[in-house]
């Protein structure tokens, strides 16, 4: 049962005190009265349930101004309405300056008193709801939402803590499903812009023509179907943060326009004639190798260097040694609550199967797998056979089909043979995952793919 908000009425005049208390009680509130501000203050210090105080200005021993000053000094979480019999502007101004939330003059209009009290309590409730929602967002999207204690994740967290308070653009890289938007959200929530907007847009999910309008906005009549003015993401993110996901998918024309925005901090709506100043922090993400795209002429070099003022690389799940059990425990609890299921846990065999799997879809894939299991699981222990076949059979993954090669020492070989041997051995160790193999070898993914095609043509490799 929800307790009624508690209100204190403090006035040394009995009639005035009782009439105000009765008026407030008619609003369904619990009221406690005092004829001495000192006793009321002592009560406030021991009763956190009190949410609002109605206090007369002129009282013996301690007046209303002093009560407000003491309450604010002691950081008591209450709203205060001051009642004055003099009605002067000076008294009202002084009351508001020392921390009163509102004031009324005597004789008090009891209807107006009740209205003011309810408005203040409603505002207080709304502020509490906003605070609670922000705390929930902070928990969901802040550092706490990114689960991991591995060395690679600790290094990522340390970089995030250092870069979050700055104005610098950040390029977030990592494979699909590693949590790039979670990192972007955490950077925003731990920045000076945390109380402003965080806007995200996926550049790869929207056609070029529509994406330009989404980013820059448009004026009425700018093109067929533009029946009214539209404000774009650049304007909407003013003073806040804009997150451009999959930025590697931007068309050449939009790359030029984005570069100009980053240099000038001004935009012009499609079909418009007015330059509009914008102040936003840019966070961008991609699973593609932008450096290779620059080399291949697919991405502007000047924009690339504008974006990568700071680069945060999120490691794939298979490289986060020791993090998988933490993630499994976190998601099992979260998903069980989300689907109204009892608590569940994996058997040792099931957890081992998850550990063996290479997780090409990373953390997102892990969560999806656990969600599908939980939906069909009545509760309790989750056995190996409840896991999807591709996870259970991960011991025969594609990478296992690559035959082991002989050590590099032995009979003399050409550099080409040694290179091929190193590439195939690395590919076997990464279970056939080409992006990981390329990273370990220190070569570009396109280079690796080209060499594998050559090996396949020569009969040294099979997909």
- CA geometry: angle 59, 61, 64, nearest 5 deg: 45
Question: Quick one: pLDDT at residue 131?
Answer: 60
Q: What is the CATH number of the domain that holds 369?
A: 1.10.8.60
Any idea which of 58-62, 130-134, 172-176 has the lowest mean pLDDT?
A: 130-134
Domain final residue pick, 396, 424, 441: 396
Question: Quick one: pLDDT at residue 220?
Answer: 87
> What's the rounded Cα separation, in Å, for the pair 175 and 188?
21
- CA geometry: angle 173, 454, 299, nearest 5 deg: 30
| Residues 262-299: tens digit of each pLDDT | 999 999 999 999 999 999 999 999 999 999 999 999 99
Q: Residues 208, 253: contact at Cβ < 8 Å? A: yes
Q: What is the CATH number of the domain that holds 42?
A: 3.40.50.2300
Domain final residue pick, 262, 291, 315: 315
Q: What is the CATH number of the domain that holds 436?
A: 1.10.10
> What's the rounded Cα separation, in Å, for the pair 392 and 389?
5
Question: Quick one: pLDDT at residue 135?
Answer: 52
Is the pTM of the predicted complex or chain greater than 0.75?
no
Q: Average pLDDT, stretch 137-150? A: 66
Question: Quick one: pLDDT at residue 132?
Answer: 58
One domain, residues 340 and 419 = no
- Tokens representing 235 are 């304007």
Q: Where are the alpha helices (DSSP H) in 173-277?
A: 180-189, 208-216, 233-236, 252-264
Q: pLDDT at residue 405 above 50? A: no
| Residues 73-93: tens digit of each pLDDT | 888 889 999 998 765 667 767
Domain final residue pick, 315, 330, 350: 315
Full domain range(s) for residue 252: 147-315
């Amino acid at each position: 049962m929800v307790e009624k908000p508690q209100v204190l009425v403090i006035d040394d005049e009995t009639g005035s005190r009782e009439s105000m208390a009765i008026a407030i009680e008619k609003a369904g509130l619990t009221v406690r009265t005092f004829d001495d501000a000192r006793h009321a203050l002592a009560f406030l210090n021991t009763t956190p349930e009190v949410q609002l105080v109605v206090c007369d200005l002129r009282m013996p021993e301690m007046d209303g101004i002093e009560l407000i000053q003491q309450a604010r000094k002691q950081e008591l979480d209450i709203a205060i309405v001051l009642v004055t019999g003099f009605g002067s502007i000076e008294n009202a101004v002084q009351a508001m300056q020392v921390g009163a939330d509102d004031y009324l003059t005597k004789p008090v209009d009891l209807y107006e008193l009740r209205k003011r009290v309810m408005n203040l309590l409603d505002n207080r409730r709304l502020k509490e709801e906003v605070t609670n929602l922000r705390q929930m967002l902070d928990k969901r999207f802040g550092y706490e939402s990114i689960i991991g204690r591995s060395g690679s994740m600790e290094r990522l967290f340390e970089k995030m803590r250092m870069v979050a308070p700055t104005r610098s653009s950040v390029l977030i890289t990592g494979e699909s499903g590693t949590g790039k938007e979670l990192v972007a959200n955490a950077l925003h929530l731990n920045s000076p812009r945390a109380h402003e907007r965080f806007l995200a847009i996926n550049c790869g999910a929207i056609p070029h023509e529509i994406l330009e309008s989404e980013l820059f906005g448009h004026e009425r009549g700018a093109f067929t179907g533009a029946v009214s003015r539209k404000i774009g993401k650049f304007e909407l993110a003013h003073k806040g943060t804009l997150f451009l996901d999959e930025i590697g998918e931007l068309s050449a024309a939009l790359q030029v326009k984005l570069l100009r925005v980053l240099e000038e901090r001004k935009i012009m709506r499609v079909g418009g004639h007015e330059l509009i100043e914008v102040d936003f922090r840019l966070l961008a993400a991609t699973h593609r190798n932008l450096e290779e795209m620059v080399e291949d002429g697919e991405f502007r070099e000047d924009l690339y260097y504008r974006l990568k003022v700071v680069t945060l690389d999120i490691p794939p799940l298979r490289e986060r040694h020791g993090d998988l059990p933490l993630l499994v425990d976190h998601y099992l609890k979260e998903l069980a609550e989300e689907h109204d299921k009892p608590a569940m846990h994996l058997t040792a065999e099931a957890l081992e199967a998850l550990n063996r799997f290479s997780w090409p879809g990373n953390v997102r894939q892990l969560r999806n797998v656990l969600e599908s299991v939980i939906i069909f699981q009545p509760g309790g222990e989750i056995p190996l056979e409840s896991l999807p076949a591709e996870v259970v059979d991960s011991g025969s993954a594609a990478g296992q089909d690559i035959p082991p090669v002989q050590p590099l020492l032995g009979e003399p070989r050409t550099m080409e043979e040694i290179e091929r041997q190193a590439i195939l051995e690395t590919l076997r160790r990464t279970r056939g995952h080409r992006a990981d193999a390329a990273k370990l070898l220190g070569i570009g993914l396109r280079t690796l793919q080209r060499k594998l095609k050559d090996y396949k043509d020569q009969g040294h490799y099979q997909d």
